[in-house]
Structure 1
Amino acid sequence: MTQPVARRMFELTEPISLVNFFSPEPNDAMAELGFANYWDGYFAGRSAPLGRVPAEVVHAAFYNFAPGEVARHLPKVWETTTPEDAHAARERGCVAALRAILGDLAATPGLARAAELLTQASVSAPTDGRIMYAGLRALPVPTDPVTRLWHAANMVREHRGDGHIAALVSERIGGLEAHVLCALDNDIYPAESFGRIHHLPKTLLADVMGGLRERGLVDTDGRFTSAGRATKDRIEALTDELAEAPYDALTAAGRDELITVLEPVAARLQVVGSDSDAARSN
């Protein structure tokens, strides 16, 4: 069975985006703005393209945080910095991390070509129903190749994320339930130990697992049922389908070339541990 183009592109572009979550430079850049903890910087940097919207809007756009988690940080973070400065710091930190990891690759013609092709794809998809993607599309495209590559990877990541939320909603899977399915899909058991939800109140997690059991998606041991496995597979298939649009802007030869020039970049990032399947829900 042929792998969807969007799935292969996800495998190659996700490591570029994940430096934001697993490298020190982005955290350092946010700390320079005055943020004393990771999550203030996270919410400021990622939500910045949406502007000074209420916490309820960011909660809806991000989808997978527990009630009240976003409101602990927004709008408070805008007392420390502006959305414009938050995005600039996030970009600056991520690009510094990429340069540090990629080393000699950062100045190669292959990386410049990857940035060119991925940018062409990333600005070509419709924005309808894609709130995070639309926010990023409204920002200017950087000219420096490494910065362009990060910006384009961030755009296709949020484009895919918007589509993933649509797929989750179509299957009536809530944000916290999505973390459970992600954990089980990555052989994390019990699912409640997954890093994105393990800190939540045990009563809340019990309600989430109970709801999935009532629907027949997990069994009494908290593992996938056949129905749960099928639901997760449908969500992933639809996510891939909805993520194809950016790459439709490239010719078949252009898509093949993009894969070729991205492969050494992704390989270098994976060597240092930037790639993590369990981070997909960030």
Structure 2
Amino acid sequence: MSHPEPVARRMYGLIEPLGLVPYLADESDQALISLGLRNQWDAYFAGRAAPFGRSVPAEVIHSVFYNFAPGEVARHIPKVWELTTPEAALAARERGCVAGIRRILGDLADDAGVERAADLLLKAATSAPAEGRALYAALRTVPVPREPPARLWHAATLLREHRGDGHIVALVAEGIGGTEAHVLHALSIDMPAHEFGRVGHLRAAQLTEVIEGMRDRGLVGADGWLTSAGRSAKERVEAMTDRLAEAPYNTLDAGELGRLVTDLEPISAALQASFPW
């Protein structure tokens, strides 16, 4: 069924803390690095790219992930597959994420609400068409875990990657490149681009070139901030991302959606409160 109100933005707020567990809870990186990986970024690329297997080259992963600067993916792919296997990386990532969730949630991790949320979220997460969504489709091939906290995290990750694939579609439709997307976001929250973590590490000349390209297209003004055209582009990207993220939730009726929101709220709040935002 179609819900009378768009739900993707509301669900994004509830699901994102679960989707961020691999990146903000130390247990995931620790589990992956224990396989012999060199650092946190090895863990990131091994954990997230593992559903594609070891034979997919860095250029393809760069395209699918979209928003890394040229050469960043190639520093880790395929090197990580000389150190471990995709199967081991998937298992370690899941093991670490579940450990992190259990540490943060405490007794709540075994509450009946976690199992209910896991079942409903998985129903939504596995209902959407996979066409045109490479990362979501790859993750759909990974076996679903049995343990409720693991199943909940897996479902949230599916939905996060489904939304992310749609976000890339929206960026491409607006002509916003991967590195430009970070600049657009930083400036939209009134943060100078060089202070934003995902592009702050770039060489000054490289970041300047990106910003100049956006200025030439009227997205950034002479003052270095977004123009009205730039803010409109950002709003269109977010609106299209939300529209493209609606499909999974259409499989839930109003009662199921209400129960899911009620069960997710305390889980999401506990995770959010634990992260170093």
TM-score (norm 1): 0.94
- What's the CA shift for 1:147? 0.2
Give the aligned residue type for 2:275.
Answer: G
Partner of residue 253 from structure 2, selected from 251, 254, 266:
251
Moved more, 118-127 or 23-32: 23-32
Partner of residue 267 from structure 1, selected from 242, 254, 269:
269
Partner of residue 228 from structure 2, selected from 214, 226, 229:
226
Residue 50 of structure 2 corresponds to residue 48 of structure 1: yes
Unaligned runs of 5+ in 2: none
Residue 30 of structure 2 corresponds to residue 28 of structure 1: yes
Residue 142 of structure 2 corresponds to residue 136 of structure 1: no
Determine the structure 1 residue equivalent to 2:19: 17
- What's the CA shift for 1:133? 0.3
Determine the structure 2 residue equivalent to 1:60: 63
d(CA) in 2 for partners of 1:69, 1:31:
19
Could you give the per-residue CA deviations for residues 161-219 of structure 1, whole angstroms, max 9, x where no partner exists? 0000000000000000000111122332x112210111111111011000111111111
Give the aligned residue type for 1:218.
Answer: V
d(CA) in 2 for partners of 1:179, 1:46:
19
d(CA) in 2 for partners of 1:265, 1:15:
9
Determine the structure 2 residue equivalent to 1:78: 81
Determine the structure 2 residue equivalent to 1:151: 154
| Runs of 4 or more consecutive aligned structure 1 residues displaced over 4 Å after TM superposition | none
| CA RMSD, 1 decimal | 1.2
d(CA) in 2 for partners of 1:94, 1:147:
8
d(CA) in 2 for partners of 1:144, 1:5:
27
TM-score (norm 2): 0.96
Partner of residue 117 from structure 2, selected from 89, 110, 114:
114
Partner of residue 167 from structure 1, selected from 146, 170, 173:
170
d(CA) in 1 for partners of 2:169, 2:150:
29
Give the aligned residue type for 2:110.
Answer: A
Give the aligned residue type for 2:86.
Answer: P
Q: How many residues align?
A: 273
Determine the structure 2 residue equivalent to 1:4: 6
Determine the structure 2 residue equivalent to 1:93: 96
d(CA) in 2 for partners of 1:203, 1:99:
44
Give the share of equivalent positions with the same residue, in percent. Answer: 60
Secondary structure at 1:25's aligned position in 2?
Answer: helix
Secondary structure at 2:199's aligned position in 1?
Answer: coil
d(CA) in 2 for partners of 1:98, 1:80:
26
